[in-house]
Chain A
Amino acid sequence: MYLSSTSYTHGERRLIRDLGEAGCDDPRLKDDRLEAYRETTASALAMATEVGARTVAAAGVSPDFVVYATESTDAEDALVRSARLADGLGCPGSVVMSVAGHGCGNLGLLLHVADGLLGTSRAASVLLITSDRVVSRPRIMADGLSVLSDGAAATLASREAPPGGSPGFLVHGLAMSCDWNADPGGDPISAQKRSVRLGRSAAAALRSASGHGPREFTRAIFSNYRYGSQRFLAGAAGFAPAQLLTGPTDEYAHCFAADLLVNCDLLATAGAFALGDRLALSATGPHTWAMVDLEVVALPNAGGEGEEVPAGPTTSDPTT
């Protein structure tokens, strides 16, 4: 399964220190690369429609399926939501479905569903959309992991390789580990032990699925959590510190399940990847750790296999 034509949108840029929530002026947020968040009055469905339409236009296909992940339903009926989404995308004949329940780990769910659809149906392409916004909860996450932003991302999953000229990725393996016994509001020590267990379990499952263990990946990429948390989670799953590649946490903060799609596209465009790089994506939620084995198969303006690309963002050494 290939992923390409990724589109995304975020709300307006706001400074975390002006958020007005308890802890928003904690200097450790900036130390951990959290400076701005994104806010919008647009509904999750409106953002989903916008990015989905852009991906459809960029790919030049009418997807057989549309799979939409959100935890922000804005109270609309699921049937109405599907109809509006299909209409807004200009794809009235596409099969539209919604998935949820894994929070920021919903990306893993989207990819699993797409992989199943492409593998067992005659579908050639599946449009994946994730969109969320904060409605009635604090943006500073209770567990201190990050600050929540509003935004959406879409990508096209296809059986055939995408054309070159823009970032494209081949999915070699998927794994999801869940622990539904966990209490998301539990004490930090229990949460830490759970993270370690889930990370190791997901890494082992991915090794079984794709044959790649944590240390064999070129890069490990997480959602836009605090830098320290990303470093901890990477270690928990068995990645070396030098493998961790961080996205633009300072600009976007944590936009639910959209971060990883955004980060892959932005980092590819910034020249952080070379063709053939193997990326381990980790999409984590309160009960979930999804891990994805991606190969970089197309880059912006990359002329051919093995072409040199300029060095891009790398993990900063916290000691410097």
Chain B
Amino acid sequence: MDEIEQMVRQVCAEALGRDDVGPTDDLVDAGLDSSLTIEVITRLQMQYGVDVLDEFFVEPTVAHLARAIQERSLPSTEG
């Protein structure tokens, strides 16, 4: 598990109040309601400077959010 995924997992685990969140578990099914979702997304935005709320609606998992943050954090190779 890389550093970003570990951080996403930690943030989600704290919001959910449980530490058994797997990388591919559905976070909504795990109990992440709309308030907790915004709390998680806001904390990740503060940590990494990117908003991944839209990606949460694509796939609400730790692994997907971590990938999205990683992709958006990469420096642009264009121009």
Contact = CB atoms under 8 A, between A and B. Distances in A.
B53 interface: yes
B34 A319 contact: no
Contacts of B54: 235, 238, 240
A195 B28 CA distance: 13
A238 B56 CA distance: 11
B77 interface: no
A232 B45 contact: no
B14 to A, nearest CB: 16
B51 A195 contact: no
B74 interface: no
Interface string A189-233: 101110110000000000000000000000000000010110111
Interface in B9-51: 28-29, 31-35, 37-39, 42, 45-46, 51
B34 A318 contact: no
Interface residues of A, number: 21
A192 B56 CA distance: 12
Nearest to A242: B51
Interface string A77-121: 000000000000000000000000000000000000000000000
Interface of B: 28-29, 31-35, 37-39, 42, 45-46, 51, 53-54, 56-57
A160 B13 CA distance: 56
B37 A232 contact: yes
Nearest to B49: A319
Contacts of B57: 196, 235-236, 238
Contacts of A312: none
Residue of B29, B33, B56 ringed by the most chain A CB atoms within 10 A = B33
B34 A228 contact: yes
A241 interface: yes
Nearest to A144: B35
Nearest to B43: A319
24 contacts: A188-B34, A189-B28, A189-B32, A189-B33, A191-B33, A191-B34, A192-B33, A192-B37, A196-B57, A226-B35, A228-B34, A228-B39, A229-B38, A232-B34, A232-B35, A232-B38, A233-B34, A235-B56, A238-B54, A238-B57, A240-B54, A241-B51, A318-B42, A319-B46
Given A144-B35, A195-B34, A241-B51, A318 B56 contact: no
B55 to A, nearest CB: 10
Contacts of B37: 192, 232
